[in-house]
Structure 1
Amino acid sequence: MLSKFAFLKNNIRVPVIAAPMFIVSNPALVVEQCRAGIIGSFPALNARGKDGESTLEDWLIRIKAGLCLPGSPSTFAVNQIVHPTNKRLMEDMELIVKHEVPIVITSLGARNEINDAVHSYGGFVFHDVTSNSYAKKAINKGADGLIAVAAGAGGHAGGQSPFALVQEIREWFKGPLVLAGCISSGRSIAAALTMGADFAYIGSPFIATSEANAPNEYKNMIVNGSAEDIVNTNVFTGIHGNYLLPSIEKAGLSIDDLEKSGIKENLLDTSKKAPKAWSSIWGCGQGISNINEVVETKTLIHHLARDFLVHYKN
């Protein structure tokens, strides 16, 4: 485990894994994240053409080519939704094995055969968890590391305090642990490591970068937003997540009325024309009050690294 874990920190400038964000994460963002000194990532389902066809192989080729350029970039990860509604799962896994993706992040389900496929070429598996019980199940299924998704994280988030979640997991798990939830500064990265995590998981700040595949209105909503603009609900996907309230209101929806109706959408159904997560109902974490402008990815990571070095005493 320790030898496998060591490669994760190759060429790392600051101990951060960029969270894979549905629609938002793309090859340009991932390459810039890696070249600036963190682990970049994207959801496999983001790689699709205008007609819905998979373009995952093209994305993998582009990212690997971008990381061959001079500059000693760090490694990258692909996120797989291990959920019955993901009809592309096994097809995408074949490409992941073919291209020997270094890190695979699994979400919404832990399966032995997925972990075994990644391990067949020496890859590393992180699994998203929102509780200690899910963490134990993930490790029992063969995951190598855990991503503890605490309260306040963007997108599908947990409901537990990061203090409680990390403490309970660290009582028995000594392997690689990543903490997610409201981490948007070097100070909060340092806090995550002090609590016992090995990496911080950062998503929402990267939405407000020039490389992100997000409308300017989405980026500006984050720049002008705060924790009070975030609402937690399960009405859009059937799973609780955090969203920008202004984006819900912009779509002409009332969160109170939606929750009273009890309607739950299929998280991977893109066939309907009504406002949907994540294309018009925008996901975001609570830790956005210090995001004050849209910047290049390398600039954001430079600021994170500089702030981290100031506050982390080790």
Structure 2
Amino acid sequence: MSMPALFKGRLSIPVIGSPLFIISVPDLVIAQCKAGVVGSFPALNARPPELLDEWLARITEELAAYDRAHPERPSAPFAVNQIVHKSNNRLDHDMQLCAKYKVPMIISSLGAREELNQAVHGWGGIVFHDVINQKFAHKAIEKGADGLILVAAGAGGHAGTISPLAFVAETRKWFDGPIALSGAIGNGKAIRAARILGADFAYIGSAFIATKEANAVERYKEMIAGSSADDIVYSNLFTGVHGNYLKPSILAAGMDPDNLPTSDPSKMNFGTDASGERAKPKAWKEIWGSGQGIGSIDKVVPAAELIARFKKEYDEAIDPPL
């Protein structure tokens, strides 16, 4: 396993908070970083595009102030997620702002681009690329990514179908760099299990939806806290890419979650209109994404409290005797 120097001495537990569309905002990112996990957000969450400058300034300044006040326990680094798909007409603009603030870590999705990786390396940052299979994993490393995010079965949002046990084992046959594992990780024991499998980090998203700082409506937060793996539906209808969604939200939208049609992947669109709004916002505003690990979440709490619980469970997790 390989822990980049960027993270050493700055994490309370080996966790990256995944970038959640709409939900991940500066309040959540800052709370995560102060509590010792990597906080992240999609650049596209800042709408209109000019808002990204304000967000990056605030995150950078608040974390720097925290570090000055707590030199013995500095904050974790933060990350920005960039959608590299050709439909993202904001990518160049958003990358220029990331360069301006020397964002420590970029998480790239839906496309591996060598020039993006080179740009990030140029300002001293690192790039993790999220993948759902070995083909995309090899391509990401060939294009210069520093680390991989293995989006395994059970992950929230755009998820793969490969077992996390198989995914990590097969990747470790050829890649000795940093790996983050995503897929149904909702407690400290699961974080420990990810490490035992050979991952450096657990990549957690859905659990953070049910936090005070998350930019989600209360009904969404309560649905996360009151649902389980049986309430998750896997479909590509809503964005053109297969992902996991909460069955109750699909029912509330008047659809049958057991008989959803399929979507044409070529129609997916991550662009924005003239006002800066996403071209297809309803997919994530009305149909709510979630991974299968939410059975471990039973109430809405501040992010720091959730992370403290993760740490306690992680520290206590041991292999039971035979």
1:122 deviation in Å?
Answer: 1.2
Match of 1:268 in 2: 270
Provide the secondary structure at the position in 1 that maps to 2:282. coil
Match of 1:25 in 2: 24
1-structure distance, mates of 2:185, 2:252: 26
Equivalent of residue 173 in structure 2, options 163, 168, 171: 171
Provide the secondary structure at the position in 2 that maps to 1:20. coil
Gaps of 5+ in 1: none
Cα distance change on mapping 1:13 and 1:127 into 2, 3 Å: same
Q: Aligned ranges for residues 188-267 of structure 1 at < 5 Å?
A: 188-259=190-261, 262=263, 266-267=268-269
* TM-score, length-scaled by structure 1: 0.93
Provide the secondary structure at the position in 2 that maps to 1:277. helix
1:246 deviation in Å?
Answer: 0.6
Equivalent of residue 95 in structure 2, options 93, 96, 114: 93
Match of 1:305 in 2: 311
Between the two proteins, what is the percent identity of the paired residues? 53
Match of 2:54 in 1: 58
1:255 deviation in Å?
Answer: 3.5
* Aligned 8 A contact 2:270 2:279 in 1: no
Match of 1:290 in 2: 296
* Aligned 8 A contact 2:250 2:287 in 1: yes
Deviation track 1:257-293 (CA, whole Å, cap 9, x = no partner) reads: 5416x56663426779998221111110011111010
State the AA in 1 paired with 2:197. Answer: M
Structural RMSD (CA): 2.0
Provide the secondary structure at the position in 2 that maps to 1:67. helix
Cα distance change on mapping 1:211 and 1:109 into 2, 3 Å: same
2-structure distance, mates of 1:7, 1:153: 26
* TM-score, length-scaled by structure 2: 0.91
2-structure distance, mates of 1:6, 1:62: 24
Gaps of 5+ in 2: none
Provide the secondary structure at the position in 2 that maps to 1:17. strand
1:132 deviation in Å?
Answer: 1.3
* Aligned 8 A contact 1:184 1:287 in 2: yes
Equivalent of residue 185 in structure 1, options 179, 184, 187: 187
2-structure distance, mates of 1:89, 1:130: 22
Cα distance change on mapping 1:228 and 1:312 into 2, 3 Å: same
Provide the secondary structure at the position in 1 that maps to 2:254. coil
Number of matched residues? Answer: 308
Provide the secondary structure at the position in 2 that maps to 1:79. strand
2-structure distance, mates of 1:247, 1:267: 22
State the AA in 2 paired with 1:67. Answer: L
* Aligned 8 A contact 1:104 1:118 in 2: yes
1:39 is the counterpart of 2:60: no
Cα distance change on mapping 1:246 and 1:275 into 2, 3 Å: farther
* Aligned 8 A contact 1:236 1:267 in 2: no
2-structure distance, mates of 1:298, 1:171: 36
1:6 deviation in Å?
Answer: 1.7
* Aligned 8 A contact 1:243 1:283 in 2: yes
Cα distance change on mapping 1:263 and 1:255 into 2, 3 Å: farther
Deviation track 1:192-248 (CA, whole Å, cap 9, x = no partner) reads: 000000000000000000000000000011111001110000011110000001111
2-structure distance, mates of 1:91, 1:147: 24
* Aligned 8 A contact 1:204 1:288 in 2: yes
State the AA in 2 paired with 1:12. Answer: L
2-structure distance, mates of 1:275, 1:88: 16
2-structure distance, mates of 1:225, 1:293: 11
Match of 1:67 in 2: 63
2-structure distance, mates of 1:100, 1:34: 16
Equivalent of residue 139 in structure 1, options 138, 141, 153: 141
Match of 1:10 in 2: 9
Match of 2:150 in 1: 148
Match of 1:162 in 2: 164
Match of 1:111 in 2: 113
2-structure distance, mates of 1:275, 1:106: 20
1:170 deviation in Å?
Answer: 0.1
1-structure distance, mates of 2:81, 2:292: 22
* Aligned 8 A contact 2:88 2:271 in 1: no
Match of 1:102 in 2: 104
1-structure distance, mates of 2:279, 2:162: 34
